[in-house]
Amino acid sequence: MGEEKKPVEGEVKINPDVIAQFAGLEAMGCFGIVGMGAVSLKDGFVKVLKKDKLNKGVSITIKDNRISIDFHIIVAYGVSIQAVSDNLMRNVAYQVESFTGMTVDQVIVYVEGVRVID
């Protein structure tokens, strides 16, 4: 009979920027979100981020293998901000937990602007 192999022990560390990029992409798939926003501390203006910079509109904090996520979003004019936020929180928390294997403790949504979409 074959020998039983012991599992290899180790540790996996995920860069918070990887989680932020993933969470930003997931957020953009949520109904009512037209963009991620970054607030310029210098002048207080919000700029809409391009797809390759989505992680700048997402802040990730990891403590004791638990994740907190802050989103800065721009919503479509005429949609319910509450409905969009609830959908974002549930969907992204589920997807990030599946992606990382860690627990998402909280998702905080900051609505930075409203845009009319074509």
Domains in the chain: boundaries: 16-115
Res 11: pLDDT:
84
89's CB contacts (< 8 A; 6+ apart) are: 107, 109
Give me the residue label for tokens 């627990």: 103
Which CATH number describes the domain made up of 16-115? 3.30.70.1350
pLDDT of residue 15: 93
**Residue 91 pLDDT:** 96
The answer, as to whether pTM is greater than 0.85, is: no
| pLDDT at 53 (0 to 100) | 63
Per-residue pLDDT of the chain (118 residues; tens, 9 = 90+): 567 787 788 888 899 999 999 999 999 999 999 888 875 555 455 556 556 566 778 999 999 999 999 999 999 999 999 999 999 999 999 999 999 999 999 999 999 889 887 7
User: CA 117 from chain center: how many Å?
Assistant: 22
**Of 90, 78, 82, 91, the residue nearest 111 (C-alpha):** 82
Query: CA–CA distance from 18 to each of 8, 12, 25, 44, 99 (Å)?
Result: 25, 13, 11, 27, 11
